[in-house]
Amino acid sequence: MLDLCSGLGGASEAMVQDEDWLVVRVDSDPQGILEPDWPRYTVHECVKNLSNNFIKSYGLIGVSPVQDITLLWASPPCRDFSRGYHAPGPTALRAGESFEPDMSILEACIDLKEHWEPKFWCIENVIGAIPYFEPYLGPPTQIIGPFVLWHNLPTIAVDYSFTHFKADSDVWSTNPVRSNLRAKLPIEISTAVMKAAMSPTLEDFS
């Protein structure tokens, strides 16, 4: 699994805990959960290094990115798309100013998806991202609580009793990882994504 813009690693946590999965987390944020000896890459840097050398830089010699990636996950930073009071969009609107979110990270994630051709892929963001992501990805495939997902996985089946509010993970604004904590996917969704990726598809029988 490649976990792009991984933040605190919530999306890939179930896979990290499963010995059958090999996970590479990619994030440039020094507050992220990346192992200390891994280089910190932006997705833009990944696009500039579209080769096996990028994967080999993580010590995964012999892994073919085109053939062996089961799942590519990407969670572009959501601040530009947030509807929160202090987010850039609403702040600009109150000031009577125009605001256009930065789409370059999403575009880089799509470039990586198209280059590596993973068996499954998923791009996640917030409700406010929908009108900006739809021209690139179409309507969302699934919405699970506050998490909006575009993907080609089988249905991601989370227990009907599951609930999650990003405010539950909130901390004081002085906390340097506040945004990462609020954005972190819960283990229930990570586990459901892993099960979906491991489910047989028609391609497996062809």
Q: All domains of the chain, ordered by start, with CATH?
A: 2-198 (3.40.50)
Neighbours of 120 (CB within 10 A): 20
Higher pLDDT, 123 or 182: 123
pTM of the model: 0.81
Local confidence band at 25 (pLDDT 50, 70, 90 cut-offs): confident
Cα(51)–Cα(37) distance, rounded to whole angstroms? 21
Instruction: Check pLDDT > 70 for residue 9.
Output: yes
Instruction: Check pLDDT > 50 for residue 11.
Output: yes
- Which of 150, 132, 30, 23 has its CA nearest to residue 82? 132
pLDDT at 79: 85
Q: How far is CA 9 from CA 25, 26, 34, 104, in A?
A: 7, 9, 8, 22
Which of 50-64, 89-103, 161-175 shows the lowest mean pLDDT across its residues?
A: 50-64
Local confidence band at 30 (pLDDT 50, 70, 90 cut-offs): low
The dihedral formed by the CA atoms of 42, 149, 21 and 66, expressed in degrees to the nearest 10: -60
Type of residue numbered 119: K
**Highest mean pLDDT, choosing among 24-28, 42-46, 190-194:** 190-194
